[in-house]
Amino acid sequence: MIVGIVAIAKNLAIGKDGKLPWHYSADLKHFKGTTMGQALVVGSNTYRSIGKPLPGRLNIVLSRSAQIDTADNLIFLRSEKEALDVAKYLSCDLFVIGGAKTYAEFAKHIDAWIVSRVPVEVDDADVFMPSAFLDGFDSVEKREIGEGLVVETFRR
């Protein structure tokens, strides 16, 4: 299954200056617990903002330029198509973790969304999710995870 996972502010903000515009331990713990042992696909800018492969997960970075980073759990691919081809051979889910361009590229392939609703508005954010990104999806679960955060799962 291909799953989009995102934390969004009330105004659909997801980024500011190449980083998350907030820090919530509950959301980081939820993200780690949900994605551990899975495969992640991430755009190169978001990967650079994280700074390293996330442990315990296969990290697939989309990049059109040559890469020299190496790690046992890291591969670089050039396109969404290559990532989807690799996903066919995985024995786990593929989580699309951002950024905005990567979410847009995978939108038509995403089977489910896991959305952490952050209880703030980020007025000076510079990256947003499109307002219609959940069109065609139904809410199947909603739960509070602490710190005022609500996580909602959607499926097609």
Per-residue pLDDT tens digits for 121-149 = 999 999 999 999 999 999 999 999 999 99
Mean pLDDT of 95-110: 97
Cis omega before residue 99 (within 30°)?
yes
In a domain, 94, yes or no: yes
Q: Alpha helices of 2-43 — where are they, by DSSP H?
A: 25-35
In a domain, 135, yes or no: no
Tokens of 116: 């952490």
* Cross-sheet strand order for the sheet of 39-43: 74-77, 58-62, 39-43, 94-96, 2-8, 112-117, 149-155, 138-146
H or E element that contains 15: strand 13-15
- 81: domain CATH number is 3.40.430.10
In a domain, 134, yes or no: no
114-127: per-residue pLDDT in tens?
999 999 999 999 99
pLDDT(66) > 70: no
What is the span of the domain harbouring residue 121? 2-129+140-155
pLDDT(45) > 80: yes
In a domain, 95, yes or no: yes
User: What pLDDT is stored for residue 71 in this prediction?
Assistant: 82
Instruction: Report the number of distinct structural domains present in the chain.
Output: 1
Closest C-alpha among 104, 81, 106, 79 to residue 95: 106
User: What pLDDT is stored for residue 154 in this prediction?
Assistant: 98
Q: How far apart are CA 9 and CA 127, in angstroms?
A: 11
pLDDT(68) > 70: no
Mean pLDDT of 70-90: 93
User: What pLDDT is stored for residue 65 in this prediction?
Assistant: 78
Cβ neighbours, 10 Å, residue 29: 12
Mean pLDDT of 17-31: 95
